[in-house]
C-alpha cells in the first residue's frame, strides 16, 4: 500500500477590489508557513498566481526545498508564480477555488478576502479540515459556527503547523 504525501493548501488574498494588496503580515506569515510545510515534506498547493499569499507561500516552500502546486484560474500560466513547480492550468476563473479546496488534505487560510472565504466554505462543505491564521474575528466566528469540529484557529505559524500535524495524525488513524 502506498502512502500519499499530504497536500497542504495555503489560501489567502492576492489582490482584489476589497484588498489593493495583502497585508504585509499575511505575506510574512505565508512565507514562513511555506517553509514549514516544505520542511515537513508535505506538498504545498496554492492558487498559483504571482500575488500575495499565493506567491509568498510558494517562495517560502521553494526556499526550503519543497514541491509547489499552483491551481491557476486562467487559460495559461502567464501570471503564475515563478516558484510553482507544477502549474495546473484550469481556465475556470474563480471556479478553480473548488479544485483548491477538494485537492487539499488540510486547508490553511492566511488572511481573508472573498476568494479565500469561498475556498474555506468549499472545504468545509467537502468535510475538509481548515486552519484559520491571521483572519478577522468575524470570519473565525462565522466559519466556526458552520462546523466547529473542522475549523481550527491558529495564533501563529507554529500553532498552525501543530494543528496540521494533529489533523493529519487523526486522518491517518481513521484510515488505518
Our CA angle for 72, 73, 78, nearest 5°, is 65
Among 106, 103, 136, 124, smallest CA distance to 26 is for 136
- Distance CA(53)–CA(75), nearest Å, equals 21
CB 134 within 8 A of CB 25: yes
In sequence order, what are the residues at sequence separation of 6 or more whose Cβ sits closer than 8 angstroms to the Cβ of residue 167? Answer: 106, 129, 131, 152
Question: Taking the mean position of all CA atoms in its chain, how far away is CA 29?
Answer: 12
What is the 8-class DSSP label of residue 94?
G
For the chain, what percent of residues have pLDDT higher than 90?
Answer: 88
pLDDT value at position 1?
Answer: 41
3-state secondary structure of 143: helix
Q: So what's the pLDDT on residue 19?
A: 57
Q: How far apart are CA 134 and CA 104, in angstroms?
A: 20
- Output the nine-digit C-alpha cell for 175: 484510515
What digits encode the pLDDT tens for the residues 39-51? 999 999 999 999 9
Fold observed for domain 7-175: Rossmann fold (3.40.50)
- The torsion angles phi and psi of 80, rounded to 5 degrees, stand at -80, 155
C-alpha cell at 21: 494588496
User: Are 133 and 157 spatial neighbours (Cβ–Cβ below 8 Å)?
Assistant: yes
pLDDT of residue 142 exceeding 50: yes
Specify the range with the lowest mean pLDDT, choosing from 2-16, 28-42, 96-110, 136-150: 2-16
What pLDDT sits at residue 138?
96
Across the range 139-167, mean pLDDT stands at 98
Amino acid at each position: 500500500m502506498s502512502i500519499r504525501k499530504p497536500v497542504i493548501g495555503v489560501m489567502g488574498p492576492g489582490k482584489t477590489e476589497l484588498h489593493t494588496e495583502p497585508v504585509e503580515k499575511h505575506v510574512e506569515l505565508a512565507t514562513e508557513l511555506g517553509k514549514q510545510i516544505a520542511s515537513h515534506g508535505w506538498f504545498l498547493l496554492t492558487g498559483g498566481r504571482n500575488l500575495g499569499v499565493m506567491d509568498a507561500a510558494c517562495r517560502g516552500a521553494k526556499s526550503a526545498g519543497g514541491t509547489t502546486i499552483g491551481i491557476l484560474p486562467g487559460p495559461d500560466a502567464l501570471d503564475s508564480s515563478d516558484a510553482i513547480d507544477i502549474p495546473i492550468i484550469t481556465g475556470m476563473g474563480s471556479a478553480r477555488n473548488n479544485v483548491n479546496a477538494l485537492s487539499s488534505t488540510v486547508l490553511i487560510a492566511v488572511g481573508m478576502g472573498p476568494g479565500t472565504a469561498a475556498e474555506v466554505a468549499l472545504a468545509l462543505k467537502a468535510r475538509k479540515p481548515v486552519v484559520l491564521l491571521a483572519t478577522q474575528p468575524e470570519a473565525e466566528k462565522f466559519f466556526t459556527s458552520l462546523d466547529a469540529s473542522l475549523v481550527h484557529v491558529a495564533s501563529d505559524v507554529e500553532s498552525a503547523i501543530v494543528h496540521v500535524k494533529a489533523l493529519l495524525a487523526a486522518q491517518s488513524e481513521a484510515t488505518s
